[in-house]
Every structure is written in structure tokens, then in C-alpha cells.
Amino acid sequence: MSYELYYWPSIQGRGEFVRLALEDAGADYVDVWRGAGMEGSMPAIATGTPSFAPPCLRDGDIVVGQTAAILLHLGPKLGLAPDDDKGRLWTHQIQLTISDFVNETHDTHHPLGPGRYYDEQKPEALARAREFRDARMPKFLDWFEAILTRNTAGGGYLVGAAVTYADLSLFQVVDGLLYAFPTRMAGLMGNYPKIAALHRAVGERPRLKAYLASDRRLAFNEDGLFRHYPELDA
């Protein structure tokens, strides 16, 4: 039975973290709204466990929302999570921190909230982006670099000696930041050789490399989480 992924059809967004896991594992899945248009509501509404917003995943009788929760569910099924409880919980913790990082990235261009257009909050966005570039971005990257350094299991991964969904998600964050803040990232990435190595390695994984080169991989754009506004990358 195919997994059913429900996410906005025109942006990568938070659904892309789930897509990367499904694509890397070679899983059978349907990107429902992209294939047939956004007809009807997410299936969770009919099951009594409604998701607040996409992404939402149906796995047979199980329907789950929230990116980190979806990946917590999929990780063991796709071979992208450790076998032990401690390792799975640690991977989930990393994913939740990635979610925090993504939220702060989004808030650089929408600091007053998603209900207003970017043009309505430019002064606030400039201030928020400055703090993000100067303080928050390196603080998060320091943490991920430290995890990679302390993981002595080999392989250059965040958890253990094999790739997990957290590695795929960190790849996506770095890719997004390279798009949204190319100038700042050019000055920063020399300080994070292990993150850079992980980003390269994940991008070369055979199934992901094919996916990234395909038309299934949507391009970054100014409607998604990661947006390139040059004035915010000053």
C-alpha cells in the first residue's frame, strides 16, 4: 500500500523533509495534492485526528501530521532511524531542533506573522534577519557541527554509523540557507566542515541525487520557507 502525502503542490516547504525520506528509501508514495489538485480536505479530518496544517501522511489506518511526528513514524519503517529507543529519541530531538531552526528562518521574512505580506513588514524583517544572520544562524550551526564532531561511530552522520532522517533534514536546511542567504553562508560554511561534508554526501546518495535532478524536486521560490530577498542577506 502506498503512503499518501498531503502538502501544498507549489512549494517545498515542510513537506519536503518528508519527501526526502520517502525518496531516499525508495518508498511507494503518492504526493496527493500535487498529482490531482487540492480537492477536498486532509484525510485526518475524517478520522477524528485532524492535523492543524499540512504536511499530513496517511499510512493505512494511521494518519499523522507535523513533520517531526511523521518522520518519527516513518523512520523505523524506512530504515532511517536507529534500532534502539535511545537512538530513536535522540534522532527525534535533533529533528525538533531542526524544526526550530526552520521556523526562525521563516520568521526572517515574516516576523510579524504569516497573515501579512512581506512588503508589509520589511523594516521588521530587516531587523529580524540581521539577528538571525549574526547570532541565531551560527548558534544552530555550532550545535549541529558539535553533534557531528562528538559522534565517533564513523560515517560522518548525526546519529550512529548510518544515515537517518535527521541527516536528510539537515541537508535540506543547508540547501535552503544556501538559497536564501548565499552571501552569509559563503562566509560561514568554512567554519563547519562536517556539516558541509554531510551536505555533500547526502546530495550524492543515489536515489536522492536522482530525485534532486528530477522535476519532482520543486525549485526554491519566494512562496516557501526559504526565500531569497537580497536585502535580508546584507
* Structural domain contains residue 233: no
Residue 198 and residue 116 share a domain: yes
Residues 186, 130, single domain; the answer is: yes
For residue 115, give its domain range.
85-205
Whether 72 shows a pLDDT value over 90: the answer reads yes
- Domain-ending residue, one of 13, 43, 78: 78
Residue 53 has pLDDT above 70, yes or no: yes
d(CA 230, CA 125): 12
Same domain, 94 and 187: yes
Check whether residue 155 and residue 135 sit in a common domain. yes
- CB distance 233 to 21 below 8 Å: no
pLDDT the model gives residue 47:
62
Phi, psi of 56 (to 5 degrees): -140, 140
**Calpha distance 167→204 (Å, rounded):** 13
pLDDT score recorded for residue 40? 54
Task: Measure the CA–CA gap between 39 and 12, rounded to whole angstroms.
Answer: 19
Asked if residue 46 has pLDDT above 80, the reply is no
Residues 74 and 52 in one domain: yes
91 & 65 share domain:
no
Residue 122 shares a structural domain with residue 174: yes
* pLDDT higher than threshold 90 for residue 51: no
CA distance 26 to 163: 14
**How far, in Å, are 5, 63, 76, 199 from residue 159 at the CA level?**
26, 27, 14, 15
Instruction: Calculate what percentage of the chain has a pLDDT beyond 70.
Output: 94
Percent of the chain with pLDDT over 90: 86
Q: Which of 63, 78, 93 is the last residue of a domain?
A: 78
Q: Which residues contact 118 (CB under 8 A, 6 or more apart)?
A: 109, 110, 125, 227, 229
Whether 95 and 198 share a structural domain: yes
Q: Is the pLDDT of residue 45 over 90?
A: no
Q: How confident is the model at residue 227 (pLDDT cuts 50, 70, 90)?
A: very high
Specify the CATH number for the domain of residue 65: 3.40.30.10
Interval 84-134: pLDDT, tens: 999 999 999 999 999 999 999 999 999 999 999 999 999 999 999 999 999
Mean pLDDT of all residues in 155-173: 97
Region 172-201 average pLDDT = 98
Contacts of 63 (CB under 8 A, 6+ apart): 43, 44, 47, 49, 51, 56, 57
pLDDT tens digits, one per residue of 120-144: 999 999 999 999 999 999 999 999 9
Same-domain status, 143 and 161 = yes
Number of domains forming the structure of the chain: 2
